[in-house]
Structure 1
């Protein structure tokens, strides 16, 4: 079959000089001047750019056309592993238990409740109905009021993460007039249920101001209670487990600051906990007359817990509760009336620790598998001895337990059902360690069929992220089985830039040390090949967003190692983006990557690895890039420019294809079955490019 010809973006070179260096960008015209308007209304994209993206989509479709039947089978397989009428575990709050469920065939969730002691279900919000007729709909939050009469809910209808908050009367099911627009979607109710707090976005799409909305009033008259004027800082809103305080958390990627809102006093102003100090990160919980603070102060790189009087939380009044332990990363803590729960991680595996406040006795909840994921759900209530946690591994579907913190009794209350059948014994999960160029050991979580011959012939999908301190859990994901059952090894490289091995693991993969993330990933791939799990050119690399930057970097640095690259919403135009302080995320990102506008060293460092700027005249792996037109995090033009430059400069290899979702943003399609179509596109590309079996193995 004749290979279709890819579209060619016209070259319109523009040169500028930065720190004495000329930078020429031939494809900068793909950045629409009205990009802010496009986030709100994607139909406003200029015609020439739209035509080019459509041509790219047509080419991607043509490349994948021979795999059409395979994609349909993949979607059917993945959908067959989803319990379509599934429900979350009900979470009690006062007289009711609240939960989310899906109907058979439904794309979007239903928000429901029933009386706590049993009784008839009430559907509070039907997101399937709300999404009807819309090209995109993503339900963000649904927060019931403390008196259980109202529901504040928010949704994004473009993919641009511009959330509108609406208020529903739960007695009538009707939404009140006067929606609150241009918000993050976060909602915190006042204790009297007569008002709520929310975060509004500024004209550059940055969450920067907190407002209080009084029910029954015009949102245009809402009172601003906090404003952050530093464009490099983002504002978020949450609530303490006690329900006594709202938390305004302000941060960039290395410093944070927290304010308390007294939810019982509508006239109260936000009260600062500890003033910002560069490099100091902290988070706050409320416990009686004290605050419990997780902090990295005084050299506590992996964080420690301290208490402070609620009336005087300044640092001079701190008392150490849980000391710093190097290599044991404190991730999250929640204060209940009688217990303090914390989630921590050591050597890439998490555990829960429960502390009885009356005696200070502690005990840990951990698991024996070599690699697993663990999360806990604090729920709504403060005065409870029960916490819920969910365990899974790459072979074991999610198991949710109710854990009595006093008796230490554990009750399995939900096991994820895989309708098409899943036998964990057919699979193996393990933890390997690759040696990086500087001697560091890089954890790799691996999943494969038990009967797979590890003789160097198997294809392998290697996933990586490596930024912002985000750790990738080794948990269960049923979609992966469609690759593994076709003879793939599925592996996660826990590279530097995450916090799998503590905060140092993160700082060793950012700014001046960013390239460690790339070399770690390459080392992981070579290690898998050396052990016979796969072989060079049998590897498929997969990453998204900042992990998409990783994909662009390894494509430049080790093209002979990978047969294919799957780059979802890839952050590949790093230098141009960090030089443009009008973009939503640029000022807040400078602590992560460096500020190339004011810092020449940062400019030269980013220039040296920025995937778009470092495309070389060489043979490249096959590449499938995915973008979202209304994406405010990684703008659509980054992958579009990258693909254009790859085709211009590469001397062989490929194909290089780009698919842009013209009706979605950073997260892709919002519907749970629509998302399967996107996963199937990626997996089909991987299967075809590696020549793997298109049918599951016996």
Structure 2
């Protein structure tokens, strides 16, 4: 089959007295955000190219159809299809969700405590069928405080433009006008007369918060807050004691909060503390105190406490510790629970507010675990909570845990219907030195029968941006590779916060290349330690992790057997220079501002994957994208693929798969998600001759 070729049309770009050629920039439409909402506005020639790439993908992958089905069945066979969550006890009802064997979307149910009467208040599959849509994205699903109304937001394209609906639960009828082009989040007022929501601007940024009176016209909605900076986006939430609403305005690096009382008839948000570049803070309210989680004079955060937001006499409540990331607080009447993370491992800390004594909650003897906590009921006068944990080899377990007596009762265990024995797997936590001698944690998961003699293929997963930490949790999907002697390694590289705020700072802006160097150092370390060999590694990353993949494969292609890049941020210089795109302005403190700062420009230009494709051999590469993705526009991976086809000197696979009805997160629904994983894994099995 003929290899697709995108038409070349030379454009010479320039910035800061530097000029460069871009043969494929013509595919980026000026009305790109309109295209994301309505794909009929896509240039016919571009659509034809994407369809040709999809056809070429199908042709090259036709011998994997059986393996795709086999892996799909394996993954689905590890999921308890008919399942339900643990109930949360509210005031008048218990609420929980369930899934069915044939359904793709969740169902929300509730039981009236006084009568034990059960009713279904939301059914995703029925809603999707009613709307007759291929893509069905649920943003938020909220029940009003009086339990009468259900508010939900839907995205039917994948473009993350959410429409809000509110219905009467008893009559199932809509009670107010639908509200379009929102961020999707919904918050009810305590009197259930209003909802608060954030509206998207012309650049798809939520910078305004409105209050909508139920039953009234959207035209009468009241603007209660507007963020003037294009770099900041806004959201609204309620305090733990339900006495205040807090509005948070932030970019990735700086935040600012406002508050108003829940019973204010005309909300007038008041500023808590003026924004200060590089300072992130958030305030909560509980038991006549305000608690502030902040990194001011505390790189890895601390928690302060004050009696009032009027005079703000803050005192240290939880002090800062070097390279220990202090998390937020969960409040009960007699207890405070908090989290902290160090060296890519998290723990839960229990505090008695009467004595201020603290102790770690330990409920597993495994070294690499992911703990979690959720409240079992709305009434905070309890000693019982839901504690959960999982590890790379152990499915999730949830206990009813008594904080006072330390007694625990297993309530729910993630069931693997097709069978799973944790003892068949080995989990290791190692460290290796990067180019500057910083120690990088890595989590290794392998089958006990997989040899460590250099013969195994190895999947090396990485992300390393926005301070997002990679948690070593259980994933039943990965077993389809691990059981075939492919070792799974997660590299906790800089750019995340696995080792605190410094770990993030050392992997962004003019330190961004540390992210790539860390990943390459991990790859070489794994080769040296005989977990794999040169040319047997499969690199995998999505979104900003796709930027990582593009950068490292340009730098060290010989290390890899293959690369899997999902919705990859690979034309990062072009995107950074375009301040009209949804995410660009808000990411200046993450990647820099190439348009206004020559040093930033030179640095981004030196690593941007699209700009640094070379005439050389590349490994097998699979690139996936979605037509309605507004976070990483589809034209980035399309341009990257076209230029790579033009310059690479090998005959290895280069495949581009575009979902024509999806967004940044890929297909909607349970089966859709499994299909995408099965596709990625089949590509990996194909190139490693394991089909």
- The reply to whether residue 138 of structure 1 matches residue 137 of structure 2 is yes
Given the alignment, which residue of 543, 547, 550 partners 1:549?
547
> Residues 384, 64 of structure 1: CA spacing in aligned structure 2 closer, same or farther, 3 A cutoff?
farther
1:246 match: secondary structure? strand
Alignment of 1:217-228 (within 5 A): 217-228=216-227
CA distance in 2, matches of 1:582, 1:223: 27
Asked whether the equivalents of residues 81 and 100 of structure 2 are also in contact (C-alpha less than 8 Å), the reply is yes
Asked whether the equivalents of residues 87 and 99 of structure 1 are also in contact (C-alpha less than 8 Å), the reply is yes
TM-score calculated relative to the size of structure 2: 0.97
Of 91-100 and 502-511, deviating more is: 91-100
In the alignment, which residue of structure 1 is the partner of 2:559? Answer: 561
In the alignment, which residue of structure 1 is the partner of 2:361? Answer: 365
Alignment of 1:146-165 (within 5 A): 146-165=145-164
Q: CA shift at 1:376, angstroms?
A: 2.4
In the alignment, which residue of structure 2 is the partner of 1:663? Answer: 661
In the alignment, which residue of structure 1 is the partner of 2:199? Answer: 200
CA distance in 1, matches of 2:193, 2:176: 16
Q: CA shift at 1:378, angstroms?
A: 4.2
Given the alignment, which residue of 92, 117, 123 partners 1:126?
123
In the alignment, which residue of structure 1 is the partner of 2:269? Answer: 270
Q: CA shift at 1:382, angstroms?
A: 5.5
Asked whether the equivalents of residues 386 and 401 of structure 2 are also in contact (C-alpha less than 8 Å), the reply is yes
Alignment of 1:657-696 (within 5 A): 657-692=655-690, 694=691
1:205 match: secondary structure? coil
> Residues 301, 178 of structure 1: CA spacing in aligned structure 2 closer, same or farther, 3 A cutoff?
same
In the alignment, which residue of structure 2 is the partner of 1:641? Answer: 639
Q: CA shift at 1:241, angstroms?
A: 2.0
CA distance in 2, matches of 1:358, 1:113: 36
2:84 match: secondary structure? coil
Of 340-349 and 561-570, deviating more is: 340-349
Q: CA shift at 1:421, angstroms?
A: 0.8
Asked whether the equivalents of residues 176 and 216 of structure 2 are also in contact (C-alpha less than 8 Å), the reply is no
Asked whether the equivalents of residues 621 and 653 of structure 1 are also in contact (C-alpha less than 8 Å), the reply is no
Q: CA shift at 1:224, angstroms?
A: 0.5
Q: CA shift at 1:401, angstroms?
A: 2.1
CA distance in 1, matches of 2:398, 2:246: 28
Asked whether the equivalents of residues 189 and 263 of structure 1 are also in contact (C-alpha less than 8 Å), the reply is no
In the alignment, which residue of structure 2 is the partner of 1:611? Answer: 609
> Residues 105, 183 of structure 1: CA spacing in aligned structure 2 closer, same or farther, 3 A cutoff?
same
Alignment of 1:564-575 (within 5 A): 564-575=562-573
Given the alignment, which residue of 43, 47, 63 partners 1:46?
43
Q: CA shift at 1:176, angstroms?
A: 2.4
In the alignment, which residue of structure 1 is the partner of 2:597? Answer: 599
2:192 match: secondary structure? coil
2:135 match: secondary structure? coil
Alignment of 1:221-370 (within 5 A): 221-298=220-297, 300-312=298-310, 314=312, 317-366=313-362, 367-370=364-367
Instruction: Spell out, residue by residue over 1:277-303, the C-alpha distance to the aligned partner (whole angstroms, 9 max, x if none).
Output: 1111111211122211111112x1110
CA distance in 2, matches of 1:357, 1:143: 31
Of 668-677 and 336-345, deviating more is: 336-345
Asked whether the equivalents of residues 291 and 313 of structure 1 are also in contact (C-alpha less than 8 Å), the reply is no
In the alignment, which residue of structure 2 is the partner of 1:472? Answer: 470
Asked whether the equivalents of residues 12 and 27 of structure 1 are also in contact (C-alpha less than 8 Å), the reply is yes
> Residues 521, 384 of structure 1: CA spacing in aligned structure 2 closer, same or farther, 3 A cutoff?
farther
Asked whether the equivalents of residues 88 and 375 of structure 2 are also in contact (C-alpha less than 8 Å), the reply is no
1:652 match: secondary structure? coil
Instruction: Spell out, residue by residue over 1:56-109, the C-alpha distance to the aligned partner (whole angstroms, 9 max, x if none).
Output: 111111111111111110001001011111111111111111111112111111
2:387 match: secondary structure? strand
Instruction: Spell out, residue by residue over 1:419-453, the C-alpha distance to the aligned partner (whole angstroms, 9 max, x if none).
Output: 11111111111111121111111111111111211
> Residues 356, 62 of structure 1: CA spacing in aligned structure 2 closer, same or farther, 3 A cutoff?
same
2:62 match: secondary structure? helix
2:477 match: secondary structure? helix
Asked whether the equivalents of residues 398 and 410 of structure 2 are also in contact (C-alpha less than 8 Å), the reply is yes
1:280 match: secondary structure? coil
In the alignment, which residue of structure 2 is the partner of 1:113? Answer: 110
> Residues 493, 117 of structure 1: CA spacing in aligned structure 2 closer, same or farther, 3 A cutoff?
farther
Asked whether the equivalents of residues 42 and 158 of structure 1 are also in contact (C-alpha less than 8 Å), the reply is no
Q: How many residues align?
A: 687
CA distance in 2, matches of 1:368, 1:487: 26
Q: CA shift at 1:234, angstroms?
A: 1.1
TM-score calculated relative to the size of structure 1: 0.96
Instruction: Spell out, residue by residue over 1:451-495, the C-alpha distance to the aligned partner (whole angstroms, 9 max, x if none).
Output: 211111111111000000000110011000000111110110000
Given the alignment, which residue of 74, 82, 85 partners 2:82?
85
Alignment of 1:533-548 (within 5 A): 533-548=531-546
CA distance in 1, matches of 2:38, 2:377: 36
- Gaps of at least 5 residues in structure 2 are none
Structure 1's consecutive aligned runs of 4 or more residues displaced over 3 angstroms after TM superposition are: none
Alignment of 1:379-418 (within 5 A): 381=378, 383-385=380-382, 386-418=384-416
Asked whether the equivalents of residues 239 and 286 of structure 2 are also in contact (C-alpha less than 8 Å), the reply is no
- The reply to whether residue 587 of structure 1 matches residue 551 of structure 2 is no
Q: CA shift at 1:118, angstroms?
A: 7.7
- Gaps of at least 5 residues in structure 1 are none
Asked whether the equivalents of residues 273 and 313 of structure 1 are also in contact (C-alpha less than 8 Å), the reply is no
In the alignment, which residue of structure 2 is the partner of 1:622? Answer: 620
Asked whether the equivalents of residues 242 and 336 of structure 1 are also in contact (C-alpha less than 8 Å), the reply is no
- The reply to whether residue 486 of structure 1 matches residue 484 of structure 2 is yes
> Residues 335, 597 of structure 1: CA spacing in aligned structure 2 closer, same or farther, 3 A cutoff?
same
CA distance in 2, matches of 1:369, 1:322: 27
Of 236-245 and 608-617, deviating more is: 236-245
CA distance in 2, matches of 1:479, 1:559: 27
Q: CA shift at 1:117, angstroms?
A: 7.0
CA distance in 2, matches of 1:331, 1:47: 49
Of 471-480 and 165-174, deviating more is: 165-174
CA distance in 1, matches of 2:311, 2:649: 62
CA distance in 1, matches of 2:366, 2:343: 13
> Residues 433, 116 of structure 1: CA spacing in aligned structure 2 closer, same or farther, 3 A cutoff?
farther
1:260 match: secondary structure? strand
> Residues 151, 63 of structure 1: CA spacing in aligned structure 2 closer, same or farther, 3 A cutoff?
same
Instruction: Spell out, residue by residue over 1:112-160, the C-alpha distance to the aligned partner (whole angstroms, 9 max, x if none).
Output: 1113478232111111011122110011211111111111111111100
- The reply to whether residue 68 of structure 1 matches residue 65 of structure 2 is yes
> Residues 607, 380 of structure 1: CA spacing in aligned structure 2 closer, same or farther, 3 A cutoff?
farther
Q: CA shift at 1:313, angstroms?
A: 5.8
Q: CA shift at 1:42, angstroms?
A: 2.3
Asked whether the equivalents of residues 87 and 376 of structure 2 are also in contact (C-alpha less than 8 Å), the reply is no
